[in-house]
Amino acid sequence: MKQMMLMMLSSATIAVIGAQPATGTGGIALNTNDPVKQKAHSSREKVFHDAGQSDGTFNVPEWISKEDEWDKRRYKVATRNENGEIVPLSRAEITQNRIANSPYRGDFLVIRGLSTFGQLIKQCDGVFVGAITEVQYPPGENEESIRDGIVPDIALTFRVETNLFGQVKEKLVTIPMRWWEGLEGHAPTNGMRLLVFYARGYTFRTLSFDNSPLGFDWVKPPEVPNVPPHVIMKEGSCVRVLDPLETEKAYIEMLDGYLRLLRWEKRDPDKYYEFLRSLVNSPVWRIRLDAKEDLLWLLGYQCPKQFDLKCILNDPKLDWDLLKDYTRYISIPVRERQ
Task: Convert the pLDDT of each residue in 71-105 to its tens digit.
Answer: 767 788 888 888 888 888 899 999 999 988 888 77
Whole-number Å distance between alpha carbons of 283 and 280: 9
Q: Nearest CA to 231 among 156, 160, 307?
A: 156
Give CA–CA dist 204/115, Å, rounded: 10
Residue predicted with more confidence, 301 or 235: 235
Instruction: Please give the pLDDT value at position 49.
Output: 62
**pLDDT tens for residues 226-264?**
999 999 999 889 999 998 888 999 999 999 999 999 999
Cα–Cα distance, 124 to 131 (Å, whole number)? 19
Own/partner long-range contacts of 313-318 (Cβ < 8 Å, ≥24 apart): 315/277, 317/277, 318/277, 318/280
Asked if residue 5 has pLDDT above 80, the reply is no
Q: How would you classify the pairing of strands 126-136 and 193-198? A: antiparallel
Tell me the CA end-to-end span of the chain in Å, nearest whole number: 42
**Amino acid type, 324:** K
Question: How far apart are the C-alpha atoms of 204 and 218, rounded to whole Å?
Answer: 12
Q: At what angle do helices 245-259 and 269-279 cross, to 10 degrees?
A: 170
- Provide the pLDDT confidence category of residue 306 given band limits of 50, 70 and 90: very high
- Residue range 155-166, pLDDT digits in tens: 999 999 999 999
Average pLDDT over all residues of the chain: 83
- Please give the average per-residue pLDDT across 100-129, as a whole number: 85
pLDDT tens profile 7-20: 221 222 222 222 22
SS3 169: coil
Q: What are the beta bridge partners of residue 177?
A: 154
CA gap 29, 17 in Å, rounded: 10
Amino acid 320: pLDDT: 94
The maximal CA–CA distance of the chain, rounded, in angstroms, is 72
pLDDT in tens, 162-192: 999 999 999 999 999 999 998 778 999 999 9
Q: Is 95 helix (H, G, I), strand (E, B) or coil?
A: helix
**What distances in angstroms separate CA 125 from CA 89, 169, 223, 227, one per listed residue?**
45, 14, 6, 11
**Closest residue by Cα to residue 103 from 199, 184, 198:** 184
Which one, of 142, 108, 78, lies nearest residue 235 by Cα? Answer: 108
Segment 219-224 shows an average pLDDT of 94
Report the alpha-carbon distance of residue 208 to residue 193 in Å, rounded.
32
Predicted pLDDT at 41: 52
Q: Give the up-direction half-sphere exposure of residue 99: CA atoms within 13 A in the CB hemisphere.
A: 23
pLDDT at 23 over 50: no
Whether the pTM exceeds 0.95: the reply is no
C-beta neighbour count of 22 within 10 angstroms: 14
Q: How far is CA 174 from the centre of its chain?
A: 28
Counts of helices then strands in the chain (DSSP H, E):
10, 12
Q: What is the CA radius of gyration of the chain?
A: 23
Mean pLDDT of 57-69: 76
User: Alpha-carbon distance 21 to 67, whole Å?
Assistant: 21
Confidence of residue 44 (pLDDT cuts 50, 70, 90): low
Task: Parse the chain into domains and list their residue ranges.
Answer: 5-100, 110-337
Burial class, 122, CB count within 10 angstroms (exposed 0-12 / middle 13-18 / buried 19+): buried
Are 136 and 208 contacting, i.e. CB atoms less than 8 angstroms apart? Answer: no
